[in-house]
Structure 1
Amino acid sequence: MRAAVTGAAGFIGSHLCAHLLAAGDAVVGIDVLTDYYDPARKRRNLAEAFRSPAFSFHPLDVLDPRTDALLDDVDVVYHLAGQPGVRPSWGREFALYTRHNVLATQRLLESVRDRPLRKFVHASSSSVYGDADRFPTPETACPAPVSPYGVTKLAAEHLCELYRTTYGVPTVSLRLFSVYGPRQRPDMAFARLIAAAAGGPPFPLYGDGEQTRDFTYVRDVVVAMRDVACSGFTGIANLGGGRPVSMRQAIAAVERVAGRVALDRRPALPGDARHTGADITVAARGFGFRPRTGLEDGLAAMAAHPAPEVSQE
């Protein structure tokens, strides 16, 4: 297949590009290289992809009209571009979240609505659920985001569903649960934990540490993305690791593979869901999703490929 990947230089995007290329696909990578973290680090994320003659990279904003031509003859669009992060999404920064998560998604859907796409795969987030009242949480649970970030991801989902039901665009929104692995963004928990174990800054633990997350290894996620593109499934599906653990348990797991972690205990922050856990029945039935990577195996892979630097904020 010929695929376009937005957000190609990011954590998940760079893994997806490598996976698609290994599967024999041609890949058009699109990424505006925002300064949410070091753009040079994002370019390094694509080192493996750049070795393939089937890969081309275009440092463009999805909202730039020049992206339209890049979608010519594309079979699948993987839309991973967006403004990440729950905690920074409050206040003045919200304009960035609406631009990169909502407006960019609508612009891309408009660009593809009359094209004969095989699939439009949108990377959504478990943040759309907020503090769910059922665990594991099925897709039928009423979304109730507790952060502005979650609101924008839910809005993008609604846009995908509108274009699917109104114009027949074959969209899939995958609600990703706490993805981790090598090249994880420097602001994310496991990147900070492994850096702390290696002698970096203490890990900021917000709240009591009993909050739970359904950690999902990045390789499992990108395999599922291509699998759903090759399937007949459309709509919304959860992608989770299948075994939620508390932050205390996650810290203990990091210590077993990487060494002792110094903690900086802080109060809980608004916008952080207390618990997350994915019911993956829809994905399993729809396109054969099954998480294959255990937490400690995934953490060992991260520890073996440490990031060059980690944000301390």
Structure 2
Amino acid sequence: MVTGSAGFIGSHLAHALVQGGTTVVGVDRRDPATDPTAATNLAPLLGLPGYVHVTADLLSCAIDPLLIDADAIFHLAGIPGVRPSWGPQFGDYLASNVLAAHRVLEACTRIGVPRVIVASSSSVYGPTGGGASIETDRPQPASPYAVTKLAEEQLCLAYAARPGSPSVVALRYFTVYGPRQRSDMFTHRALQAALTGQPLRLYGDGHQRRDFTFIDDAVAATIAAAAAPAAHGPINVGGGATASLLEVINIANSLVGRDIQLDHDHARSGDVLTTRADPGRAREVLGWQPRVDLHNGLRAHMQALASQVPTYGRAA
């Protein structure tokens, strides 16, 4: 079972599982019949043998019947994004990222699902001083969103410590990008600006550094987390190398052969200066390491975008 299957990572994950011969029940509260983003993300999946889609809200639906005979649940459903989590929407973040996870865990315990893989975030680390974050570091979440992701993973790990509960792997994803990424994410906005000639709003000075992880690599790590017998607890999903936002802009410029026009704005509350994963545990426990470098990943991302947006030139 894949929750959040109409989302960015969830749809790629479900597709990879089905292609590998796994039967997948995908659950998402967004209805592809009425939600254009869900329809786009699920287009490669709907109608494939081995995939069953259920439109349902995990906060209210009956979860137990969906889990019968499930070997694992990939719990990716939730509300993402740092900026909107400040203010009145926090209750929605709490409900979707924590309370829904609680209902899923209760159902997994009742049905006897052996393993839960939950989507966490590098944001749980907070400000790091530029060094690589290791799973044993003390979390210092710097936004309400990050607080809910830390609460979610800790709730799941608390359940895992109880006898008779499923084992839990909390994957701390580091800036996943690629085709079908959310339109508010930086790499999507930068590549779209390069393709269309529209200005790019840049928050801060652009020297913020991120450990960018291509979607195919993130999916491979996620599947490995379900199969590795020794996998448990938090695991970083990131390559251990960083690039600045300005470097991403320069790569986008090189792919289209012109410079992106920048609209500078103040840095946003909750955005940390650097994220960088220590990938040692993922390599040791999952046998995983990323295979797609930033330039090739951005090229693949841009090629996917180029088929959807008007362009003033073709990506190289």
TM-score interval w.r.t. the shorter chain? over 0.9
> Structure 2 CA distance, aligned partners of 1:219 and 1:208?
29
What does 1:1-313 align with in structure 2 at a 5 Å threshold?
A: 4-33=1-30, 39-133=35-129, 135-167=131-163, 168-199=165-196, 201-232=198-229, 233-259=231-257, 260-306=259-305, 308=308
Task: Provide the secondary structure at the position in 2 that maps to 1:77.
Answer: strand
TM-score of the pair, normalised by structure 1: 0.93
Native 8 Å contact 1:5 1:78 kept in 2: yes
SS in 2 for 1:49: coil
Moved over 6 A (4+): none
1:177·1:214 contact (CA, 8 Å) conserved in 2? yes
Give the CA deviation at 1:242.
2.6
Matching residue's letter, 1:116: G
Q: CA RMSD in A?
A: 1.7
> C-alpha distance in 2, partners of 1:120/1:191?
30
Q: Shift of residue 213 of structure 1? A: 0.3
Structure 1 pair 244–134 and aligned structure 2 pair: CA distance change class (3 A): closer
1:145-171: CA deviation from partner (whole Å, max 9, x where unpaired): 110000000000110110000243211
Q: Which amino acid aligns with 2:223?
A: R
SS at match of 1:74: coil
Shift of 1:118: 3.3
5+ long unaligned stretches in structure 1: none
Q: Distance in 2 between matches of 1:44 and 1:198?
A: 20
1:50 match: secondary structure: coil
Gaps of 5+ in 2: 311-316
Between the aligned residues of both structures, percent identity stands at 43
Distance in 2, matches of 1:209 and 1:241, equals: 21
Q: Are the counterparts in 1 of residues 197 and 260 from structure 2 also a CA contact under 8 Å?
A: no
